[in-house]
Amino acid sequence: MSAFVENVKRFLGIGRSGNSDQRGTWGSGFGSLFLAVAVALTIRWCLIEAYVIPSGSMLPSLLIQDHIFVNKFVYGVRIPFSKEWLARFSQPQRGDVIVFKYPEDESTFFIKRVVGIPGDKLSWDGQQLTINGQKIPTSENPKKDFFFSILNDREMAGGKESYDLMEEKLDGNPHPTLVKKDAVHTLVEGQEVPPNSLFVMGDNRDNSNDSRYWGFVPQENILGRAMFVWLSCDETLPAPVNFICSPLAIRWKRLFHSVH
């Protein structure tokens, strides 16, 4: 404890005599602060960054007010404040849940699932996804009761009874999807994904603004791949701090939930 107190005094310049000693102490303290800020910014730039889910487009995989960490290193490292890559480590794969800059307004960030990679030809008939002539396996979700239990009606237009909860397997990896029973579906017929682009969709298929409406995501717009939920809540605090989760409404079972 005494060592801690001495370190605090040394940082604040308490108990020292002479202006030069105090200036050196303050300089050292601000140097440490600058280093800490630089480390934090570096982590955010190329390793991980936190985001909050603002809408229900990825239900039931991601809930509104899920706070997630995004892996920004998995696909490569960019030159700061640019879209140019310093190094590329891997390419996005079908099934990846990615955060990216919305092509029509790059000040807005979207999160969607990759369903098509360069060269793929895709079709969507409202319930069935077809890639390169192969129907993607789709069936009633075996965890239907669980997923409906974590959703609430205010997140689902028309209530839970208006939806079919399905399981879709992209390259053998399952994920849940919601399809509205009475929706007027937006169809896709034989669209080919161009080079350096991706076709993305939300898991809440009839409540998602995605590639079916505005086209492909340039890979240079990708920010990273979703990792896990580190905080989640049903409600936030009142304005002006309505970006903070209410401690009384935390979804404890969502903490450290992996995003698949």
| Catalytic (active-site) positions | 57, 112
Tokens of 10: 């040394």
Question: What 3 state SS string does 184-196 have?
Answer: CCCCEEEEECCCC
Instruction: Return the axis-axis angle of helices 19-46 and 2-12, rounded to nearest 10°.
Output: 100
3-state secondary structure at position 247: helix
Q: Which residues of 104-142 are buried (b: 16+ CB within 10 A; e: fewer)?
A: eeeeebbbbbbbbbbebebbbeeeebbbeeeebeeeebe
Other beta carbons within 10 Å of 58: 28
Cα 237 to Cα 63: distance, rounded to the nearest angstrom: 17
Which positions ≥6 away from 169 have C-beta within 8 Å?
Answer: 136, 137, 138, 175
Contact 169, 136 (CB under 8 A): yes
